[in-house]
Amino acid sequence: MSTNFFRLRSIDNLLDKYDELRRQSIHFSAPEELNDPMEGYRDIFWNGDFVVWKNFFQRYIFCLQTFCYKRAILGETKKILIDEIRFLEDESDLPTDLSRSISLEISKKFFDSKWLMELIIQIANRTTPIRREELSIYLNSSHFFALECIFSVYELHCFIPPRQQIFSDSEKNIKCLLDNNYINSLEQLIKDNDDGGKTLNAFHFARKNSQMQLELINRYNGNINASHFNKNFLLIEFPDKYINKIESLIFPAWYTACFMTDCKNSSAWGHYGDNHKGACLIFETKRIKDDNFLNLNANLSEISSNHGHDYKDYQFHPIKYIPGFSTIDFFRMLKIFPREKVDSQWYNYEGKRSICADDKDQSIEDWRTVYRKEFYRDITKKSKDWEYEKEYRIILSDQFGDFPNSDNRTFSYDFNSLKGIIFGIKTKPEDKLRIIKIIKEKCSVYHRNDFKFYQAFYSSDKNCICYIELGLLKFT
């Protein structure tokens, strides 16, 4: 039993820029390349004891050191990207005894601050989960103190030249939070309001919005030099970029190729079919039990009329169009690491074990089942605004770093699974002829005479895009 799935493509994709039709290629896009800005969004919250929160700040200061080290070497000669930050490493991964010693010295200086340790204690005692906007306040308040700890140690070891200006009273922002009894005030706000959680979220969102506006004003007035990319990232953007990127500690990067169950929607043709000037590929899938699969080869250079050993079945996942986002408990969903790495970096501190590690004692089979379910749950969900797409997607999980760049994410499909092509309402005749010529050559190689061409048209009877077979176009 088989099922047909449809994939709209522009002529640029099919023929000119990417030559997908001749290469029999399907590219898997990163979430940021897709047209929905909420793709794969997860409502992450942080709710844990002192052990995991102390380790959270430990990971922060280590990652910040990584960026500072790179900037000390590169300056502004090359942009340092967030992906270069060592989220999965610690002092044991550093290459030399000196680098390990310096890193430990920085951490000791950071955590010797009674103000910082008091802030961590109060954060750990919060009675409701902490979300991104609130976490941003704590990291931004600690950020300049963290930088001062790093630069002062670097200066001591002559890794950087003597500074003309230091971050004076770098603990000021932390002290301000504590002196104003900030966290206890939040707890009181929650107690005094029936919808305390919503009130709290609105409060932090408003504060974050004001911060964003002030930054825009400073950039507009020229107070921030746009050419100093690494300096701006280090001084201004790092805390929030860190929070956004830290999701990679829960789930791996993922990439997707999108398909539809029909191609009747004019908006879909407009968005993905190059304003109806493109074409729609019809794939016949393999049906196994209740799921559909497409045979793909990760090695694009090995296109063949025969199935090679690199071909495997990739599952289609249906998109659910429902409102809202699922919540993720960060400290209890650290499943991407080897368990020993999670324990050493997150769940243990001075002989104490975090209560957040309790579910790590379940069987590995149960652990993987929960992980897989929650990984796919949020990346197969979109708002009802996109329901017209009737989308299914094939998803690549990059848990083992198999897809370091875009080229590694372009797979080839078996030509026998491509059953037909629908020309768009405005597809140019010369583009149709180029497509027909490529298909004729491939049908000769694959010994096929069953390939079908169709023409899309608007049906006033059905009030949608329909298509009719071009029965005279046959290959023998």
262-292: pLDDT as tens digits: 999 999 999 999 999 999 999 999 998 889 9
For residue 347, give the nearest of 363, 330, 364 by alpha carbon.
330
Identify the pLDDT of residue 221: 80
Question: Are the CB atoms for 253 and 30 separated by under 8 Å?
Answer: yes
pLDDT, tens only, 14-65: 999 999 999 999 999 999 888 888 887 888 999 999 999 999 999 999 999 9
Mean pLDDT of 419-442: 97
Largest Cα span, the chain: 84
In 3-state terms, what secondary structure has residue 312? strand
Contacts made by residues 349-358, CB under 8 angstroms, sequence distance 24+: 349/50, 349/51, 349/54, 349/55, 352/51, 353/51, 354/48, 354/49, 354/51, 354/52, 355/48, 355/49, 356/48, 356/49, 356/51, 356/52, 356/331, 356/332
Distance of CA 418 to the CA centre of its chain: 30
Whether residue 415 is predicted with pLDDT greater than 90 in this model: the reply is: yes
Question: 454 phi and psi, to 5 degrees?
Answer: -135, 160
Highest mean pLDDT out of 110-119, 298-307, 334-343: 110-119
Phi-psi region of 165 (alpha: psi -120 to 50; beta: other; left: phi over 0): beta
The confidence band for 307, taking pLDDT boundaries of 50, 70 and 90, is very low
Question: Are the CB atoms for 447 and 415 separated by under 8 Å?
Answer: no
Whether residue 2 is predicted with pLDDT greater than 70 in this model: the reply is: no
Helix ranges (H only) for 360-428 are: 364-379
What number of residues does the chain have? 476
Question: Are the CB atoms for 204 and 183 separated by under 8 Å?
Answer: no
**Spatial strand order in the sheet of 327-329:** 130-131, 43-46, 327-329
Whether residue 294 is predicted with pLDDT greater than 90 in this model: the reply is: yes
Identify the pLDDT of residue 305: 46
The confidence band for 337, taking pLDDT boundaries of 50, 70 and 90, is low
In sequence order, what are the residues at sequence separation of 6 or more whose Cβ sits closer than 8 angstroms to the Cβ of residue 295?
286, 307, 311, 312, 313, 314, 413, 414, 417
* DSSP single-letter state for residue 389: G
Kindly state the percentage of the chain with pLDDT values over 70. 95
Identify the pLDDT of residue 88: 77
**Which has more pLDDT, 337 or 306?**
337
pLDDT, tens only, 369-395: 777 888 888 899 998 889 999 999 999
Identify the pLDDT of residue 447: 92
**Which has more pLDDT, 259 or 208?**
259
In sequence order, what are the residues at sequence separation of 6 or more whose Cβ sits closer than 8 angstroms to the Cβ of residue 269?
8, 263, 275, 276, 278, 280, 424, 425, 456, 465
**Token pair of 193, please?**
């309001």
Whether residue 6 is predicted with pLDDT greater than 80 in this model: the reply is: yes
Q: How far apart are alpha carbons 80 and 202 in whole angstroms?
A: 33
Mean pLDDT of 197-214: 79
Q: How many CB atoms within 10 Å of residue 294?
A: 22
Weakest mean pLDDT among 189-203, 220-234, 298-312? 298-312
Q: How far apart are alpha carbons 430 and 469 in whole angstroms?
A: 19
Q: How far apart are alpha carbons 435 and 41 in whole angstroms?
A: 37
Kindly state the percentage of the chain with pLDDT values over 90. 54
pLDDT, tens only, 86-99: 777 888 888 899 99
For residue 108, give the nearest of 177, 154, 58 by alpha carbon.
58
Question: Are the CB atoms for 312 and 295 separated by under 8 Å?
Answer: yes
Average pLDDT score, the chain:
88
Identify the pLDDT of residue 111: 97
The strand ranges marked E within 10-83 are 25-27, 43-46
Specify the pTM.
0.83
Question: 7 phi and psi, to 5 degrees?
Answer: -135, 110
In sequence order, what are the residues at sequence separation of 6 or more whose Cβ sits closer than 8 angstroms to the Cβ of residue 219?
226
**Token pair of 290, please?**
């209740």
**Token pair of 235, please?**
């001084």
The confidence band for 139, taking pLDDT boundaries of 50, 70 and 90, is very high
Of all residues in the chain, what percent are helix, strand and coil, respectively (each to 5)?
A: 50, 20, 30
Mean pLDDT of 179-202: 82
Question: 395 phi and psi, to 5 degrees?
Answer: -120, 135
Q: Which amino acid is at 358?
A: D
Mean pLDDT of 438-465: 94
Q: Measured between alpha carbons, how far is residue 85 from residues 100, 140, 199, 286, 442 in Å?
A: 17, 18, 34, 41, 45
Question: 458 phi and psi, to 5 degrees?
Answer: -90, 125
